[in-house]
Amino acid sequence: MRADAIMDSIKERIAVEKNDEGLRLDMFVSEKISGISRSRAGALILNGDVTVSGEIKKPAFKVKDGDVVEVLIPPPKSSEGFAQDIPLDVIYEDDDVIVVNKPAGMVVHPAAGHRDGTLVNALLAHCKNLSGIGGKIRAGIVHRLDVGTSGTIVAAKNDAAHNSLSNQFKSRKVKKIYLALVYGSMQGDKGFFDSPIGRSQRDRKKFSSRSRIGRQALTEWRVVERFYKHLTLVEVTLHTGRTHQIRVHFAEGSHPLVGDPVYGGEKKIKRLTKSQLMEAVASFSRPALHAWKLGFYHPKSGEFMEFESEIAKDFASMLCSLRNLCSGGR
């Protein structure tokens, strides 16, 4: 790496905790640093930009409690990513952050098969400046929402804001509340799921609480509305941020999300005994999940700010149909 590039690079220093023990180094780096994919983490490791307690290791090295991982993140390449004039539903914006309501179907950042039309492409056109910690291909991205999930997401406009927000996500200071429509009638009016989540050993595209490398995952839920005994609208608070956490926890609790093709949501449609309810949800072709509220401490002022996004039209329309069918029945 050139001397001037090193000057522009950013160094992240992360202590390995007990619940991280046994993770591959490339996986550890990608999970701990927002905007760094596992493949990019592997490239940084092979390039010698990652050390474990001062030593260079291989991507497959298993980290252990007490290790200190240092990552030198090079400046973004100018050739990565490009701006596209895509409309954004902006909830809030200042010199440090921008909060938007991401539509369902929009990928957060470019990846294989999604070179354009992403949130990053839209942000690059809308904002004069974005943080470069994740590279231009993930410019400004601090956290992610699945492509099928709509709702509130924050992006950083500079590196200082990125580091502040990233640290808040890591230390679980960010308030994250979702709305989800699930199959079945939840037992009780509120509760928790606390089973660990990791990548499935049988299907690498899925996640599971039965993974051998599962990490702590805590999901709090509260019933908002019941549609007979067949469907439940729940408010979900995430206390951790594992991939597919809400979808996995509810599916493994026998209450998969409506429209979820990966974790069993489609199979439950046939079990609805009321044909009108079946018709109301059968055409919903994505997980019924909306990132409703997001709260964090402003990177510059330190003020706690909370934002709420309007529920997506397809989700709202489905709920309206269900309410009309149930005539307020609980």
Helix axes 38-46, 25-32, angle to 10 degrees: 120
Q: What is the pLDDT of residues 50-68, one digit of tens each?
A: 999 999 999 999 999 999 9
Query: What whole-number distance in Å separates Cα of residue 64 and Cα of residue 68?
Result: 9
Residues 234, 224 contacting (CB under 8 angstroms): yes
146 is an active site residue: yes
Identify the sign of the CA torsion 247, 249, 251, 254: negative
Query: What whole-number distance in Å separates Cα of residue 228 and Cα of residue 290?
Result: 22
pLDDT surpassing 60 at residue 330: no
| Residue with the larger pLDDT of the pair 175 and 326 | 175
**Confidence (pLDDT) at 40:** 84
Query: What whole-number distance in Å separates Cα of residue 11 and Cα of residue 74?
Result: 9
Q: What is the pLDDT of residues 81-137, one digit of tens each?
A: 688 999 999 999 999 999 999 999 999 988 766 778 999 999 999 998 899 877 777
User: Where residue 183 falls among pLDDT bands split at 50, 70, 90?
Assistant: very high
Query: What whole-number distance in Å separates Cα of residue 309 and Cα of residue 290?
Result: 9
**Confidence (pLDDT) at 282:** 84
CB within 8 Å of 279: residues ≥ 6 apart? none
**Confidence (pLDDT) at 278:** 78
**Confidence (pLDDT) at 82:** 83
Task: List the catalytic residue out of 67, 146, 260, 314.
Answer: 146
Residues 214, 262 contacting (CB under 8 angstroms): no
Q: What is the pLDDT of residues 243-259, one digit of tens each?
A: 999 999 999 999 999 99
User: Where residue 266 falls among pLDDT bands split at 50, 70, 90?
Assistant: low
**Confidence (pLDDT) at 113:** 66
**Confidence (pLDDT) at 134:** 72
| Over residues 151-171, mean pLDDT | 95
Query: What whole-number distance in Å separates Cα of residue 201 and Cα of residue 210?
Result: 9
| Over residues 157-173, mean pLDDT | 94
Every domain range in the chain assigned CATH 3.10.290.10: 3-73
- The superfamily in CATH containing domain 3-73 is RNA-binding S4 domain (3.10.290.10)
**Confidence (pLDDT) at 7:** 41
| 73-82, 198-207, 294-303, 307-316: the lowest-pLDDT one | 73-82
- The predicted model scores a pTM of 0.76
Q: Give me the architecture of the 90-168 domain, per CATH.
A: 2-Layer Sandwich (3.30)
**Confidence (pLDDT) at 219:** 98
CB atoms within 10 A of CB 223: 17
Tokens found for residue 136: 């231009």
Over pLDDT 70: what percentage of the chain? Answer: 89
User: Where residue 329 falls among pLDDT bands split at 50, 70, 90?
Assistant: very low
| Residue with the larger pLDDT of the pair 18 and 292 | 292
**Confidence (pLDDT) at 4:** 40
Every domain range in the chain assigned CATH 3.30.2350.10: 90-168, 175-295+304-326
User: Where residue 2 falls among pLDDT bands split at 50, 70, 90?
Assistant: very low
**134-171 burial, b for 16+ CB within 10 Å, e for fewer?**
bbbbbbbbbbbbbebbbbbbbbbbbeebbbbbbebbee
**Confidence (pLDDT) at 112:** 63
| Over residues 238-246, mean pLDDT | 95
Segment of 81-85, 258-262, 314-318 carrying the highest mean pLDDT: 314-318
- Third-level CATH fold of 175-295+304-326: Pseudouridine synthase (3.30.2350)
